[in-house]
């Protein structure tokens, strides 16, 4: 039997890389996206360089993937812009919405006609799609949006037995996290997490894989938080 195929956007580092690794262990054909040329692991079957803020780049990418029948889609690519509302430019607004919500929306639209029955879609959201804080108006807006998209599409895709969920990671040990926070902020946030630490990327990947696997037969339309208890306080 041929391997099942998974497409993971933003699969070159952080949570996306860990997701690709767990699918590899479970014998999937793995296709990932990145923003620049890199040496990808040998187990990657397809690597697409795409800039989700560039319409020409996105169109070229969508044309390429339209030729492939996927079983699983993981919308993981994302960016964060931390600024007070008065400092946000039109370009920054458009950029974060292009990457965090427009790209996954139209990626689902493009591959949907070729998705098989029993296929799975997982959108990587954030706890900032459930709670928020200062200077996160842009980021939270996109993550609340993707959670709403997930719920609506679960109703639309349910009759086709295509299951779609969002995973909302808390603070996780990724490059994006460490680029966004200084050490004092990291220490302060750690003290607020009941488990007393940031998540490992593989812990997020395990949940994503379960939702994408044959073991998930009835979970759809859910925004599932995995944050070490941070939002329970």
Active site residues: 139
Among the residues of the chain, which ranges form H helices?
A: 14-25, 55-65, 90-97, 103-111, 137-157, 175-180, 183-192, 201-212
Type and span of the H or E element at 156: helix 137-157
Contact (Cβ atoms closer than 8 angstroms) between residue 169 and residue 193: no
Q: How far apart are CA 123 and CA 144, in angstroms?
A: 12
- Strand-pairing partners, residue 29, are 5
């Amino acid at each position: 039997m041929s391997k099942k195929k998974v497409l993971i956007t933003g699969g070159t580092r952080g949570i996306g890389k860990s997701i690709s690794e767990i699918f590899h262990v479970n014998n999937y054909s793995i296709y990932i996206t990145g923003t620049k040329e890199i040496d990808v692991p040998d187990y990657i079957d397809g690597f697409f360089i795409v800039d989700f803020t560039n319409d020409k780049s996105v169109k070229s990418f969508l044309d390429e993937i339209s030729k492939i029948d996927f079983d699983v889609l993981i919308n993981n690519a994302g960016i964060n812009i931390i600024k007070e509302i008065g400092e946000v430019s039109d370009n920054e607004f458009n950029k974060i919405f292009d990457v965090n919500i427009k790209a996954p929306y139209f990626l689902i639209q493009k591959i949907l006609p070729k998705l098989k029955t029993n296929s799975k879609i997982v959108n990587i959201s954030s706890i900032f799609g459930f709670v928020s804080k200062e200077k996160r108006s842009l980021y939270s807006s996109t993550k609340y949006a993707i959670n709403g998209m997930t719920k609506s599409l679960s109703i639309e895709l349910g009759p086709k037995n295509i299951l779609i969920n969002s995973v909302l990671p808390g603070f996780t040990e990724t490059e994006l996290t460490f680029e966004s926070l200084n050490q004092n902020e990291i220490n302060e946030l750690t003290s607020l997490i009941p488990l007393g630490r940031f998540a490992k990327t593989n812990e997020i990947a395990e949940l994503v894989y379960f939702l994408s696997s044959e073991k998930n037969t009835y979970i759809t339309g859910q925004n599932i938080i995995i944050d070490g208890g941070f939002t329970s306080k």
